Amino acid sequence: MPVLALDTSASVTVAVVGDDGARLARRDAPERRRHAEALAPLVDEALAEAGVDRTELAAVAVGTGPAPFTGLRVGLVTARAIGFALGVPVLGVPSLDAVAAQAVSDLGLTTDDEVLVTTDARRREVYWARYRVVAHEGPHAVPVLATVAGPDVGPAAAVAEHAAGAVVVGEGAALYADVLDAPEDAPLVPDAAVLARLAIARRDAGEEQPTEPLYLRRPDVQEAAARKRVSDAVGGTRAAR
């Protein structure tokens, strides 16, 4: 049975993948500020192209970041809502994992090669994680990866210190090419089809796939601390006299 996958950690990407890992449809949009408006139409278009009714889905896979708060939340809420409505599991996959897996395939990396994935965290920082290739191709034709370091967030120049001996990929490297050197054909953002294959392989291996978001830092907008009432402040002043 097919799996719907979506990721909003960077741009918006949606795919429908067969249970064997074959891609049935994919839709992408470069939206970075209007994830909510872009996502629902892409889901409908991908399902239509694949010829799959929502009721036929076996699971929903979703990227868990790390990413800025608002965009990532759109994908997670949508995936959970679809999963709840259909009564199917929602499988969380770190978005950095999908970029790393794509890099292994695109760049022909082999066993024991290492890859450093960097994505845009804004504020001149990047989200990053470093992986080692355990197997070039595992179940469902996706690489098997081991996390060496991260995920974490930091200034691009500081993250470059973790790059020695690794192939650097991801949008962070493209944004900060002065300190992060990446191959020209390195993948930049997650591919929902790759994310789906990772989710299927990990599901079949019995791995837990939580959907908690990886924010790695507090939201830019936070609720203001409670202010003291004027009467409390006045009363305190009088009491101190």
The token duo for 123 is 């504020």
d(CA 149, CA 91): 23
Looking at every residue in the chain, the average pLDDT score rounds to 90
Supply the Cα-derived Rg of the chain in whole angstroms: 21
Q: pLDDT tens-digit profile of 82-138?
A: 999 999 999 999 999 999 999 999 999 999 999 999 999 998 899 999 999 999 887
With cut-offs at 50, 70 and 90, classify the pLDDT of residue 231: very low
Q: What is the dihedral of CA 197, 201, 206, 209, to 10 degrees?
A: -30
d(CA 14, CA 191): 8
Strands, E assignment, 49-113: 59-63, 90-93
Beta bridge partners of 115: 131, 167
Between 37 and 223, the higher pLDDT residue: 37
With cut-offs at 50, 70 and 90, classify the pLDDT of residue 140: confident
pLDDT of residue 31: 75
Statement: residue 9 has pLDDT above 70: yes
Domains parsed from the chain with CATH numbers: 3-94+190-204 (3.30.420.40), 96-175 (3.30.420.200)
